[in-house]
């Protein structure tokens, strides 16, 4: 990315201002990048932990496999998932607030006693699965922001800051050269004027 500038004091001041802004912002961006990297890992780990918990619970109910065959399909269903927005490392992400279930009425006089427990088990399993999916989304959102922050860090660190420094150096060198040239021109004019005066008074 080429830095556009002109060889004058206004352009020099503007470049200095831009350079100062980026130099000040860089440590904050680097901290944000580190924080996001850490939060992405935590979200992924939490999602994996919930999946492991879900698998463990499913295995723990294998002994009820024959009973599940008797369980009435459609007795319980998820009708809604309520999410709220929270901020993690300054980034808005979803968080699970509540899972809404539709549970059909159970006539415990005609249905087995374990039906009520079965409903609770299914609620627990659904909760774990949904929460795991929410954390997958959290890690995706955070990772996207981390990538954007990394790009900005690289842009500032590797392109813009060196570019502004180089442009400032060029302007300063040009202005010094112009000043030296001006002084040299003034000296020549002055010396020429002195010579002319000497010749005039010498005659």
pLDDT in tens, 150-185: 999 999 999 999 999 999 999 999 888 888 887 877
Residue 1: its pLDDT value, please?
Answer: 60
Supply 68's token pair.
């599940």
Tell me the β-bridge partners of 76: 103
Q: What is the residue extent of each domain of the chain?
A: 9-189
Question: Which of 43, 38, 57 minimizes the C-alpha distance to 132?
Answer: 43
CA distance 48 to 133: 10
pLDDT in tens, 1-51: 678 888 888 999 999 999 999 999 999 999 999 999 999 999 999 999 999
Classify domain 9-189 at the CATH topology level: Helix Hairpins (1.10.287)
pLDDT in tens, 59-98: 887 777 676 667 777 778 899 999 999 999 899 999 999 9
Question: Which of 75, 87, 104 minimizes the C-alpha distance to 32?
Answer: 87
pLDDT in tens, 109-150: 777 677 778 888 888 989 999 999 999 999 999 999 999 999
Given a cut of 60, whether residue 203 has pLDDT beyond it is no
Residue 80: its pLDDT value, please?
Answer: 94
The answer to whether the beta carbons of residues 32 and 90 sit under 8 Å apart is yes
CA distance 169 to 177: 12
The answer to whether the beta carbons of residues 100 and 81 sit under 8 Å apart is yes
């Amino acid at each position: 990315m080429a830095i556009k500038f002109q060889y004058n004091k206004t352009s020099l001041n503007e470049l200095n201002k831009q350079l100062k802004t980026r130099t000040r912002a860089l440590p904050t961006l680097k901290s944000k990048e580190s924080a996001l990297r850490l939060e992405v890992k935590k979200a992924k780990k939490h999602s994996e932990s919930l999946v492991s918990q879900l698998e463990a619970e499913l295995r723990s109910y294998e002994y009820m496999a024959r009973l599940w065959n008797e369980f009435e399909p459609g007795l319980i269903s998820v009708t809604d998932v309520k999410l709220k927005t929270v901020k993690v490392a300054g980034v808005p992400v979803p968080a699970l607030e509540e899972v809404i279930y539709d549970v059909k009425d159970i006539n415990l006089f005609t249905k087995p006693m374990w039906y009520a427990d079965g409903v609770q088990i299914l609620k627990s399993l659904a909760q774990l699965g949904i929460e795991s999916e929410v954390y997958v989304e959290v890690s995706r959102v955070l990772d996207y922001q981390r990538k954007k922050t990394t790009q900005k860090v690289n842009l500032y660190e590797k392109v813009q800051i060196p570019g502004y420094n180089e442009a400032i150096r060029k302007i300063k060198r040009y202005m010094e050269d112009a000043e030296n040239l001006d002084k040299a021109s003034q000296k020549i004019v002055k010396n020429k004027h002195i010579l002319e005066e000497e010749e005039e008074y010498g005659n």
